[in-house]
Amino acid sequence: RVVKLNAGKLPPLEEINTQIKTGCVKIKHVRDGIYLTSPAENDANTRRVSIKGGEAERWEITAIGGDQYTIKNKDLNQFLFTSDATYSSNYHVYLWIPKIGLTAEKWTIEKVGNGLTIRNVLRPSCLFVGSSSWVYAKMGPICKGKQFEWSFESC
């Protein structure tokens, strides 16, 4: 007797993992064609995140289990995380110094449309480009549209 583990609902885990690049990547906003950067300090522990031009920065995507990932700026050695601070019902997204077990730095990455949607685990929200090219995390479970699509390029 053969038992189908996924009952036809999801591709096998190996297929899911091959769709998401891990290791060193450049993160590009699909609609705007500009790379994710961290051009400015916010305070002593955090940096702002944007697509305000400049050279593409290198990011380390690490699978941490349970379909979750961390995203770390390789040069600054800081993790991408979603703050509890908000602007227009969107969470601020920053880089932060490494902290063990910080839940706000855990993300799920899903293939959608022509790109990837990057969702925060702690605060149900998706990475998107807001006003003035700053990057925020849109509150809520629905993340449809070009403003939510990203791609990973090997570096």
CATH architecture group of domain 13-154: Trefoil (2.80)
What's the pLDDT at 133?
83
Reply yes or no on whether the pLDDT at 138 is more than 70: yes
φ and ψ of 16, to 5 deg: -60, -50
What's the pLDDT at 18?
44
- 82 with 93: CB under 8 angstroms? yes
What's the pLDDT at 4?
36
Reply yes or no on whether the pLDDT at 12 is more than 70: no
**What are the residues whose beta carbons fall under 8 Å from the beta carbon of 14, sequence distance 6 or more?**
none
Domain boundary assignment for the chain: 13-154
Q: Look up residue 7 and give its amino acid.
A: A
Q: What pTM did the predictor assign?
A: 0.82
For the segment 18-45, the average pLDDT, to the nearest whole number, is 87
For the segment 38-63, the average pLDDT, to the nearest whole number, is 85
Q: Look up residue 10 and give its amino acid.
A: L
